[in-house]
Structure 1
Amino acid sequence: MAHATSSVASITPFRANILPNAVADLHQRLNRTRLAEKETVNDWSQGAPLSNIHALVDYWSKGYDMQRLAKRLNQYSQFHTAIDGLGIHFIHVKSTHADAMPLILSHGWPGSVVEFLDVIGPLTAPTAHGGSADDAFHVVIPSLPGFGYSEKPKGKGWGLPRIARAWGMLMKRLGYDWYAAQGGDWGAGVATWMAKEHVPGLAGVHLNLPILFPPPLQGDLNDEEKGSLAQLIAYSVDKAGYAKLHSTRPQTFGYALADSPVGQASWIYEKFGEWSDSNHRPEKVLSMDRMLDNIMMYWMTDTGASSARLYSESFLTDFSPQKLDLPVAVSVFPGELFRAPRIWGDRMYSNIICWGEASRGGHFAAFEQPEIFTEEVRKGLRPLRG
């Protein structure tokens, strides 16, 4: 099993700090908010409804604890380190169980390390959360380049393959010579490329958004494949406008996200409503406080534009199916953007060790359903433990 005798020379402790003047500025901006008029439909087809955004902004201004994000993050050991010339922020929590499996978890957009805060305890201390000591993990949770407290790339080149290699270097620097990687959204892309490139020490991956698309249409698709293909088409036709903007004009709309907290909040909140397993009622699965924690991560670090640039780097090139021969575990959540069928996985992954179907949860699996997500990760990666 792996051990964690860290080489700490190039790793420095980090604490989140939300300064009073930043809070005062945020309050001033929220108080000067000019909202758009009400939508002309009675659904989400034109975007997040005015009533929802009004409620979110009102709570942010009057009810939310502006120091809550820092308080939550600072409950855990956080660090900064330079990898391949870029400063990377990460959370690192070791289990007390000696044979714990090291696991690196990667978030996506519009997520952050905040998505994983509620699964740190269950993953690292399973016996205190209904699990067995045999299911323990040491967890490493980095912020993607240009996201959160990681540094913003100054030039092009930080796509998925480079991030994958950087995560491999991070795990090596922490002393882990055997570990697994987990991810959904962009995090699934990172984990996929880690497996594709066989980064040293990687034993296998767990994906809650496997990057799998239908093969060239040769013959008939079965009913499950037809359903998944219909979901992909619906996403491409009606829900992928944000990705086109991110891929082609991150700088232009980035000015709006940098200047307006409500612009940043609504850009993220819409995705919580559209992509969660909540029937456009994200408050049912993600409280206002938890959603605003994630929104604050973007606002306080001014990473609207820098996070979007990952799309221009990798969305149309690297975020694609890859043939993998390392062990792959998959968990399909019912509220996901599209639910990839096992047959697509069999075509691309030669060593599927687990294929799970979760009972609840959507695109933000760990954020929405931390207990179910934890059990899926435990179950999916057990075969690696030997």
Structure 2
Amino acid sequence: MTVTPFRIAVPDDVLSDLRARLTRTRFTTASDATSWAAGTDPAYLRDLVAYWADGFDWRAAETALNAFPHQVAEVAGSPLHFIHLRARRPEGAPAPLPLVLSHGWPSSFVEMLGVARRLADPAAHGGDPADAFDVVVPSLPGFLYSGLPQGPFTRRGVAETWHSLMTGTLGYDRYGAFGGDIGGGVTQWLGALYPEHVAGVHITSAVVSADFEKEPPTPAEQTYLDALAAYDIGDQGYSEIMCTRPDTVAAALMDSPAGLLAWIVDKYRDWSDCDGDVARRWDRDTLLTVATLYWATGSIGSSFRQYYDYHLNKRVPRVTVPAAVTLSNEPAFKDYPKSLAERVFADLRHWNTPERGGHFMAHEEPDQVAAELQAFFGPLRKTD
């Protein structure tokens, strides 16, 4: 398969149109006196939109992103964007173990860049160069520069595409996999489908995919499941509309950059480990880099496809390859019992609840995640 180098280059007219739209934004009034209680705070959004229109330097962000080796290849019949970082290791050192890092929604490849740097070039971050990994960071199908799949978007389908990328396109016979959210589901499927090629799997979002018909939940597990259901009542409105009427909301977000920004920032605040203070975790340039990528590619609607097709996902079979969980510190996984992960992973070798880093853990805590991956995958470099 042909792999083509790729550079991000947003046309000037797209940026000019974006600024013009931002300056014409009509803002709503708050529905609740408590800030953020009813969604993205209008006052916060007004300030962030003003900075996006007159202050944010996209070209500087673009240059920083293009410092990474972007590539595009046709995989499973659709264009797939990915970053491929080769390990910087001592001459004569054993071949590095490749790792594929998978993001979720409303995220992007940007989430994984800090971790990817630390893994591919540990010496530059105070580590041992012998610990370097090859790192592959794909954009999920329908996200940014990757095309939608030819069939439904399922986590199993993405795992099949990732395996084709890693083994067929890039020529790796054995690799490890890491991810959270959608990427965590993809990672589990990689371990379930390709145990002869996947050295191990590491996730941050310990999703529930156990078969409770065969073994009912324990009291601790049921307590967690009840708490999760209660949390979802207040949080799942966004997913309900994207599961049932994605094109309706996408029409608004494709036309209004302020609306797009509100939709994305709401989740960056709610799901990250920021205690409700967006600025504690996210500087404005980071948020606007992600939003500009979604805007320039017009991919917010296609990123909803995995929600619309969600009902087509099947339960992940029991995963037998070595597994690790570094549990996300976000409301959905508060008090998540280890036993639920053990129902899915037959060989759970690493379990950690650092209580730092939320839904976007790799972005929020890159040092922590890189250390966790090095600790887990280091011993797996050689076949057991």
Q: Identify which of 268, 279, 284 aligns with 1:283.
A: 279
State the shift of 1:220 in Å.
Answer: 5.1
Q: Identify which of 148, 151, 173 aligns with 1:152.
A: 148
Alignment of 1:23-172 (within 5 A): 23-97=15-89, 98=93, 99-153=95-149, 156-172=151-167
Tell me how large the CA RMSD over aligned residues is.
1.9
Partner amino acid, structure 1, of 2:63: K
Partner amino acid, structure 2, of 1:369: E
Whether the 8 Å contact between 2:231 and 2:331 is mirrored in structure 1 is no
Provide the rounded CA distance (Å) in 1 between the counterparts of 2:46 and 2:312.
38
State the shift of 1:226 in Å.
Answer: 5.7
Provide the rounded CA distance (Å) in 2 between the counterparts of 1:383 and 1:209.
23
Kindly provide the CA deviation profile for residues 312-334 of structure 1, in whole angstroms up to 9, marking residues without a partner as x. 12x33427554211111110132
Provide the rounded CA distance (Å) in 2 between the counterparts of 1:219 and 1:13.
49
Alignment of 1:253-292 (within 5 A): 253-292=249-288
1:338 aligns with 2:336: no
Q: Identify which of 275, 296, 301 aligns with 2:297.
A: 301
1:242 is paired with a residue whose SS is helix
Seq. identity, %:
35
Alignment of 1:117-266 (within 5 A): 117-153=113-149, 156-172=151-167, 173-198=169-194, 201-212=197-208, 215=212, 218=216, 221-222=219-220, 225=221, 228-266=224-262
Partner amino acid, structure 1, of 2:153: W
1:318 aligns with 2:313: yes
The match for 1:370 is 366
1:104 is paired with a residue whose SS is strand
1:175 is paired with a residue whose SS is coil
State the shift of 1:134 in Å.
Answer: 4.1
Whether the 8 Å contact between 2:141 and 2:148 is mirrored in structure 1 is yes
State the shift of 1:336 in Å.
Answer: 5.2
Provide the rounded CA distance (Å) in 1 between the counterparts of 2:217 and 2:296.
51
Partner amino acid, structure 2, of 1:130: G
Partner amino acid, structure 2, of 1:48: T
Provide the rounded CA distance (Å) in 1 between the counterparts of 2:218 and 2:332.
23
1:337 is paired with a residue whose SS is helix
Whether the 8 Å contact between 1:212 and 1:320 is mirrored in structure 2 is no
Provide the rounded CA distance (Å) in 2 between the counterparts of 1:84 and 1:57.
38
Provide the rounded CA distance (Å) in 1 between the counterparts of 2:380 and 2:312.
30
Provide the rounded CA distance (Å) in 1 between the counterparts of 2:65 and 2:377.
26
The match for 2:377 is 381
TM-score normalized by the length of structure 1? 0.91
1:354 is paired with a residue whose SS is strand
Whether the 8 Å contact between 1:81 and 1:89 is mirrored in structure 2 is yes
- Between 191-200 and 85-94, the greater mean CA deviation after superposition: 191-200
Q: Identify which of 351, 356, 377 aligns with 1:355.
A: 351
State the shift of 1:230 in Å.
Answer: 4.5
Provide the rounded CA distance (Å) in 2 between the counterparts of 1:150 and 1:258.
17
Whether the 8 Å contact between 1:168 and 1:199 is mirrored in structure 2 is no
Provide the rounded CA distance (Å) in 2 between the counterparts of 1:30 and 1:320.
43
Partner amino acid, structure 2, of 1:65: D
TM-score normalized by the length of structure 2? 0.92
Whether the 8 Å contact between 1:274 and 1:280 is mirrored in structure 2 is yes
2:311 is paired with a residue whose SS is coil
State the shift of 1:273 in Å.
Answer: 0.7
